[in-house]
Amino acid sequence: VILYDYFRSSASYRVRIALALKGLAWDAVPIHLLHGGGEQHGEAFRAINPARAVPVLQLADGTLLTQSLAIIEYLDECHPTPPLLPADAVGRARVRALAQIIASDLHPLNNLRVLTYLGQICGLDADKRRDWYQHWTLAGLEAFEVLLARNGSTGRFCHGDMPTLADCCLVPQLFNARRFECPLDHLPIIGRIATECEALPAFISARPELQPGAD
């Protein structure tokens, strides 16, 4: 498979973790989101993903899959071991809800195109854009922490003792949160789970700085 990605894209990072957890090899095609005004806006990439966003997973038969959560669920269905979703329906709903706090609620507000619009159209300077980023990141991560605590999160990961879709979303979001200097010390369960995840080879190999095309 081919993964169109950008080393610092948290949505791409989610898929890289899932591919590595499944033990699948992939060829990376880096799409630089900043070079030349953003390669995602070029005609060639728009033919691959009209939403102008990474990741895109291209299967061996040429099929193009978009949206990181859909891609990860596809991988989980086709390569069930190790599972990235729990066996029970309530567990699956919980893991998907955690993943969507990040992928559906938090991340779309802080995407590159939104931050660019805030700067270029709304006139917000770099400090105000960072405040915006921190505000929405913390709103999402604080809810994530409470949901972890509410379910008596005693396992090593977000749901039990195996990494799931929720962990695939959490670790990349934390990478970006640290980059934007979000205070995270008041989120101890998230901190503990991140330490567990970040020690695993699959999470290490997916790290942004290890990807082809990393600045």
Ligand X SMILES: N[C@@H](CCC(=O)N[C@@H](CS)C(=O)NCC(=O)O)C(=O)O
Segment contacting ligand X by CB under 6 A, of 5-13, 83-91, 130-138, 157-165: 5-13
Segment contacting ligand X by CB under 6 A, of 63-71, 85-93, 123-131, 190-198: 63-71
Name residue 5's beta-bridge partners: 30
- The whole-angstrom separation of Cα 83 and Cα 187 is 27
- The whole-angstrom separation of Cα 109 and Cα 171 is 18
Please tell me the total number of residues recorded for the chain in this structure.
Answer: 215
Task: Tell me whether residue 76 or residue 153 sits nearer to ligand X (CB atom).
Answer: 76
Task: Tell me whether residue 111 or residue 151 sits nearer to ligand X (CB atom).
Answer: 111
Q: Are strands 56-58 and 2-5 parallel, antiparallel or unpaired?
A: antiparallel
- The whole-angstrom separation of Cα 187 and Cα 141 is 8
Interaction between residue 137 and ligand X (CB under 6 A): no
Name residue 57's beta-bridge partners: 3, 65
Segment contacting ligand X by CB under 6 A, of 65-73, 80-88, 132-140, 145-153: 65-73
What would the x/- binding string for ligand X be over residues 41 to 60, using CB under 6 A? -----------xxxx-----
Read off the tokens for 11. Answer: 């949505």
What would the x/- binding string for ligand X be over residues 94 to 133, using CB under 6 A? ---------x-------xxx--------------------
In terms of C-beta density within 10 A (0-12 exposed, 13-18 middle, 19 or more buried), how is residue 57 classed?
buried
Site for ligand X in 159-178 (CB under 6 A): none
The residues binding ligand X (CB under 6 A) are 9-11, 33, 38, 40, 52-55, 67-69, 103, 111-113
